[in-house]
Amino acid sequence: MAVSTSTSDFKNGMTLVLPDGLFSIVEFQHVKPGKGGAFVRTKLKNLKSGAVIERTYRSDEKLDQAIIDKSDMQFLYRDGSQVVFMDTNTYDQIQVEESVLGNAVNFLKEGDIATLSTYEGSVVTTELPAAVELTVVETEPGIQGDRVSGARKPATLETGIVVQVPLFVNIGEKIKVDTRSGEYLTRA
**What percentage of the chain reaches a pLDDT higher than 70?**
95
Where residue 165 falls among pLDDT bands split at 50, 70, 90? confident
Do the bridges between strand 82-87 and strand 93-97 make them parallel or antiparallel, or are there none, so unpaired? antiparallel
- In this predicted structure, the answer to whether residue 144 has a pLDDT above a threshold of 70 is no
- In this predicted structure, the answer to whether residue 146 has a pLDDT above a threshold of 60 is no
Q: Domain locations in the chain?
A: 2-66, 69-127, 131-187
Same fold flag, 2-66 and 131-187: no
CA distances from 181 to 3, 98, 110, 124, 161 (A): 34, 18, 21, 20, 12
- pLDDT tens digits for range 63-86: 999 988 888 899 998 888 888 999
Question: What pTM did the predictor assign?
Answer: 0.73
Sheet (strand 62-66) strand order: 2-6, 62-66, 15-18, 21-31, 39-46, 52-58
SS3 107: helix
How far is the C-alpha of 81 from the C-alpha of 15, rounded, in Å?
Answer: 28
Return the CATH architecture of domain 2-66.
Answer: Roll (2.30)
Mean predicted confidence (pLDDT) in 82-105: 87
Return the CATH architecture of domain 69-127.
Answer: Beta Barrel (2.40)
Please check whether the domain covering 131-187 is classified as CATH 2.40.50.140. Answer: yes
